[in-house]
Amino acid sequence: MAIACVRNLFAVVALGGIYSFLMALALLVLDAVDVSMTEASVGAGVSTVLLLGALYLTRIDEAPPLRVSAAPMVVALAAGAALLYGSWDLPPFGDPAGAIHHHVAPRYLNQVIAETGVPNVVTAVLASYRGYDTLGETTVIFTAGIGVLLLLKGRRRRRDGGGAAL
């Protein structure tokens, strides 16, 4: 909530880092240890560093809005109400009879030692069963890295060119 109201972007980024750590704790409570570690390192660490870097390259204060409109609040609250209405039909929290616990998950849990020998099921699925998908994921990250490099490289060259012209 404070993130929406604070105008100093440095404070926004700091609050975002704290929020990511809290989210990592919540994920830990929900038994998602691998996800929790990734969120703590990537979400709270790398994202905060990236945001601070962007702040260093731009500026740190947010301008007051030119016009204030109620439409975004209405849209957000309407979407929230619709989601709450829909969530009422979901299975209750922590119920082993829920639909998602009876599809492929038990098969992975029962066969993982025999088929891969890796006790951590998340690692086994990520690297062994779905290895090609993980390769695709790294391709996405590689593409994003190329994009960032291209965007920022053109910027530096233009600045150099401008300096030479002066």
Partner 1 sequence: MVDAVAHFSNWVTVILMVIGLYVVLARGNLIKKLVGLSIFQTSVYLLYIGPGKILGGTAPIIAEGFTVYSNPLPHVLILTAIVVGVATLALGLALVVRIHEAYGTIEEDEVLGREGDT
Residues of span 62-81 touching partner 1 by CB under 8 A: 62-63, 65-67, 69, 71-73, 75-77, 79-80
Residues 81-120 that bind partner 1 (CB under 8 A): 83-84, 87-88, 90-96, 98, 100-101, 104-105, 108-109, 112-113, 119-120
CA 164 to CA 146: how far, in whole Å? 27
From 18, 131, 148, 157, residue interacting with partner 1 (rule: CB under 8 A) = 148
CA 140 to CA 146: how far, in whole Å? 10
Q: Does 47 bind partner 1 (CB under 8 A)?
A: yes
Residue placing its CB nearer to partner 1 in the complex, 92 or 164: 92
Q: Does 157 bind partner 1 (CB under 8 A)?
A: no
Radius of gyration for the alpha carbons in the chain, expressed in angstroms and rounded:
22
Cα-flanking dihedrals φ and ψ of residue 61, to 5°?
-105, 145
Min dist CB 36 to partner 1, Å, is 9
Give the dihedral sign, CA 42/43/48/54: positive
> Checking phi first, is residue 94 left (phi over 0); if not, alpha (psi -120 to 50) or beta?
left
Min dist CB 165 to partner 1, Å, is 16
